[in-house]
Structure 1
Amino acid sequence: MPRLAAASLAGTAIEFYDFFVYGTAAALVLGPLFFPTFSPLAGTLAAFATFGVGFVARPLGSVLFGHIGDRRGRRPVLVVSLLLTGASTVAVGCVPTYGSIGVAAPVLLLVLRFLQGLGLGGEWGGAVLLTAEHAPAGRRGLWSSFPQIGPAVGFLLANGVVLALSATLTEAQFTQWGWRVPFWAAGVLAVLGLWLRSSLPESPRFLEIEAPARVPLVEVVRSHWRLVLLTAGGLAVGYAIFYAVTTWSLAYATERLGVSRTVMLTCIMAAVVVKGALTPVAALLSDRYGRRPLCLAGCAAAALWMFPLVALLGTGEPLPMFLGFLGAMLAFVTMFAVIAAYLPELYEPRIRCTGAAVGYNLGGVLGGALTPLAATALAEHSGRVPWGVGAYLTGIALLSLGCFAMLPETRPETRPAARPAPAGTEAGAGGLAATD
């Protein structure tokens, strides 16, 4: 389990590094470089629109790679998705700007961002299932949380590279070529990830499947459409919080409040460090108290914290902004630390890779793709404190709270004297819980 968890963590960290480095570049430089004929606001919105395309592609990637994962195994998904995401990220760093090739530049950017999202849409399902399906029932929450630490590590790597470049290069150097370096570094990380994953064993739960689903997506849509929609709605607030903090606030504070890029990146990264460190703690709590209660608690905390978040951001001062980001990340981690165990437990093994990944990535469309765009538009007509953004995020939190309230609990009972359930027995929505 430690080797599997480490490989899953490393792989998701690398893939999310690729995804996050684009978000940071979109907030800082892509608007002027690829949409120079737009106004500053319109350029930022256009850059965030290309950022959102990656989220739109993620459910498609979950369908494509979910089919492979449910038909051919979880392990092949990890290799192909990593290759696709890594190659498209390196290519982004090589795209000429609008000044060199005109409108072809943003078109290429759009295509490559789509491919990034396609690869990441497959990555999560494969990495999570390979870990969850190897883990013992009583500690599935803990072991499954390691892939969920990967996004925090990937974010810190991406922003750490940008922060280092910002601190050592002039503004002109960073704008001219420095922003490309984090994208080129993705190639080295992809090679490392492939090496780590080359010897991973296939999931034992997949090997036990006697009759794989012929077309997993059809079964998911026909029999589990309500479950997919509820999980997507429940996860929307987590995506909205994360990208409001890590992407929108970065653009807002540097452009509207005059906060330096270095200060903002430092505040955000410090909050994400705490989030990453607390992920296994929240996951352990889910093994003890259940998945659903933690999801409900995280949504409720988010609903209460969104107005304080924008108020603290509006100060433009490092410590209040950090505290605002920290509170948001604590609400986020309470939910997302347990999702890697919760979603697989909701689906039976033969359609699990498709079902869990589609729900997870549809939540990204609802919360992640729209939030930077909506928040930027809402903040444009506000004062120093963007109250409209706080209202928007609170509304998403309440929506997610309602969705999680309608989902079942899945945490398996682990009483020592309990008789093992017969193979193939389903509990709740047909997930892992009852098969241990």
Structure 2
Amino acid sequence: MNSLQKIGQIRSTQHFRKVAIAACFGTFLEWYDFLTFATLAVVLGPLFFPSNDPNAGLLASLATFGVGMVVRPIGSALFGSLGDHIGRKPVFMITIALMGLATVSVGFLPTYAQIGIWAPILLVGLRLMQGLSAGGEIGGSAVYLTEHAGNENRGFKTSFLQLMGPLGILVSTLQIAFLQQWLSPEEFEAWGWRVPFWISILLLLIAFKARMALEETPVFLELSKHAEKNESQLMNNFKDPEIRKRMFLLFFCISSSGAILFFCVQVYTTIFLKTSVRLNPALVDQLSIFATMMLFPLTIFAGWLSDRIGRKPVVLGGILLGVIFIRPAFQLLQYFGGLYIQFSTNSSIAGIGVILTLLSLTLGLVVGPQTALLAELFPAKNRNSAATLPHNLAAGWIGGLLPLIVTWLNQVWGNSLAGLWYPTLFLGAAGITAFFYLPETKLTKLAK
């Protein structure tokens, strides 16, 4: 390699790093805003949905979280189509502004005790706004970053985007843990829970400025020269049998599996340990931070591994591990949690840590290659709309409703583990389908 080639390679690496930081920070903000609500579900229940039955308040709070997930496909249909029509960058600016406005507003929302029934109505409305924004951001950002990544080591380069969801939870959890330690329970309930939503104002300004400096993807610029963006591709996606088939595989096998594991590992474990096992909330937050920290290197490793042996075997490995391990993992969490409550032994906490690490490995194997897969499955002219709709449909309808469905099934059957058969059976069906029909995509040329 001569000196000019080396300079070109350095500039290319620096350019991608700049794009990756800006895209990832914006996606982090989306996840931070969106998932802070889930982290505070136990707190928000009695404030906005007061009830004599604590379980009813929790279910109402989880249902409100689920509402934001359910409308994500609508946002993905709207913003995904716009991404193919006007460009990836303009859509980024719209979605992040919408998410920031909704999140900041939650921080100033009066509670049920202050304005009555209007409090939950307004909260649900803001969650709907967040859901529409997330639908355009999550999936579209994967396409944007992958189109900038080139054809070499795409799995590794784009795996960092998958860390933004766990990072959003981590930052939110750290804030809440600090606030709960610093404030009295009365102060936290009165105003402390609002602080994470207020902080999003600063994060929004930083992310907006970073995204203003972003460039349109080279793939979309090439399409623009040939005027292939004048027509919305959303309806055309369903007319093409091959694209329709790949959209289904993305929805059912990749995105649904990733969403189920994400909400099992990153969201439901916290709810389970606080409400079913009844561990101290501060201890649960510490365990959640540990699990998230373990997920970071495991996700990057899975992305790197998918560049070596292929996307399909890595994703299938994660799905299979999920089928085998999800329900026993929560049973073991319950067992070790019970031991800790009785005897306060360090070995019990160590056991919980091992279980959470294995759950993080399961999630990392599925989501590590996911960013690259989202873009590689589809041709350039309809990639944004074809990828974002099934991905958000899976995340919204399958993953987003999982905590609510599992909690409801647990209550119906009177067993804190009964609802976990739902994600187990779903993962089993997704794994079988992926084994027979999911194509290998690591050699795909994105400019097609």
Give me the TM-score of the superposition, normalised by structure 1.
Answer: 0.91
Work out whether 1:227 is the aligned partner of 2:246: yes
Tell me what 2:351 maps to.
320
Q: Is the 8 A contact 2:142 2:374 kept in 1?
A: no
- The structural deviation recorded for 1:20 is 0.9
Structure 2 distance, partners of 1:125, 1:233, is: 15
Work out whether 1:356 is the aligned partner of 2:387: yes
Call closer, same or farther: CA 1:213–1:345 in 2, change over 3 Å: farther
Tell me what 2:434 maps to.
404
Tell me what 1:426 maps to.
none
- The structural deviation recorded for 1:147 is 1.6
SS in 1 for 2:153: helix
Structure 2 distance, partners of 1:387, 1:22, is: 24
Structure 2 distance, partners of 1:46, 1:38, is: 13
Tell me what 1:97 maps to.
111
Work out whether 1:15 is the aligned partner of 2:30: yes
Deviation by residue 1:197-241 (Cα, 9 ceiling, x = unmatched): 111111000011121261221012222333222211112232222
Work out whether 1:218 is the aligned partner of 2:228: no
Q: Is the 8 A contact 1:75 1:126 kept in 2?
A: no
- Residue type of the alignment partner of 2:428: L
Work out whether 1:298 is the aligned partner of 2:318: yes
Counterparts of 1:20-419 in structure 2, within 5 Å, are: 20-26=35-41, 28-37=42-51, 39-209=53-223, 210=226, 211-212=228-229, 214-223=231-240, 224-234=243-253, 235-315=255-335, 316=337, 317=340, 318-380=349-411, 386-405=416-435, 406-412=437-443
Q: Is the 8 A contact 1:134 1:203 kept in 2?
A: yes
In angstroms, what is the RMSD of aligned CA positions? 1.7
Identity of aligned residues (%): 34
- The structural deviation recorded for 1:399 is 2.2
Structure 1 distance, partners of 2:52, 2:266, is: 24
Q: Is the 8 A contact 1:141 1:338 kept in 2?
A: yes
Deviation by residue 1:142-181 (Cα, 9 ceiling, x = unmatched): 2222221211211111111111111111111111111111
Call closer, same or farther: CA 1:246–1:285 in 2, change over 3 Å: closer
Deviation by residue 1:7-40 (Cα, 9 ceiling, x = unmatched): 12211111100011010111x2111111113521
- The structural deviation recorded for 1:365 is 2.5
Query: Structure 1 stretch 179-188 or stretch 32-41: which is displaced more?
Result: 32-41
Structure 2 distance, partners of 1:34, 1:217, is: 38
Deviation by residue 1:304-323 (Cα, 9 ceiling, x = unmatched): 11122111221214333332
Structure 1 distance, partners of 2:58, 2:268, is: 10
Call closer, same or farther: CA 1:34–1:74 in 2, change over 3 Å: same
Work out whether 1:433 is the aligned partner of 2:445: yes
- Residue type of the alignment partner of 1:148: Q
Structure 2 distance, partners of 1:35, 1:339, is: 36
Number of aligned residues: 415
Deviation by residue 1:49-77 (Cα, 9 ceiling, x = unmatched): 00001111211111111122101111112
Q: List gaps (5 residues or longer) in structure 2.
A: 1-15, 341-348
Q: Is the 8 A contact 1:245 1:268 kept in 2?
A: no
Structure 2 distance, partners of 1:61, 1:127, is: 14
Call closer, same or farther: CA 1:141–1:252 in 2, change over 3 Å: closer
Q: Is the 8 A contact 2:265 2:363 kept in 1?
A: no
- Residue type of the alignment partner of 1:397: L
Call closer, same or farther: CA 1:73–1:388 in 2, change over 3 Å: same
Q: List gaps (5 residues or longer) in structure 1.
A: 413-431
- The structural deviation recorded for 1:364 is 0.8
Structure 2 distance, partners of 1:325, 1:38, is: 33
Tell me what 1:417 maps to.
none
- Residue type of the alignment partner of 2:38: G
- The structural deviation recorded for 1:111 is 0.7
- Residue type of the alignment partner of 1:306: I
- Residue type of the alignment partner of 1:243: F
Call closer, same or farther: CA 1:38–1:226 in 2, change over 3 Å: farther
Structure 2 distance, partners of 1:103, 1:279, is: 42
SS in 2 for 1:20: helix
Structure 2 distance, partners of 1:311, 1:382, is: 16
- The structural deviation recorded for 1:138 is 1.9
Deviation by residue 1:318-356 (Cα, 9 ceiling, x = unmatched): 333332222111111101111110111111111111111
- The structural deviation recorded for 1:125 is 3.0
Structure 2 distance, partners of 1:85, 1:339, is: 23
Structure 1 distance, partners of 2:213, 2:446, is: 29
- The structural deviation recorded for 1:434 is 6.4
Q: Is the 8 A contact 1:213 1:350 kept in 2?
A: no
Call closer, same or farther: CA 1:251–1:278 in 2, change over 3 Å: closer
Q: Is the 8 A contact 1:213 1:351 kept in 2?
A: no
Call closer, same or farther: CA 1:256–1:293 in 2, change over 3 Å: closer
Structure 1 distance, partners of 2:256, 2:150, is: 29
Structure 2 distance, partners of 1:38, 1:221, is: 48
Structure 2 distance, partners of 1:166, 1:336, is: 32
SS in 2 for 1:258: coil
Q: Is the 8 A contact 1:233 1:366 kept in 2?
A: no
- Residue type of the alignment partner of 1:433: K
- Residue type of the alignment partner of 2:283: V
Structure 1 distance, partners of 2:433, 2:18, is: 35
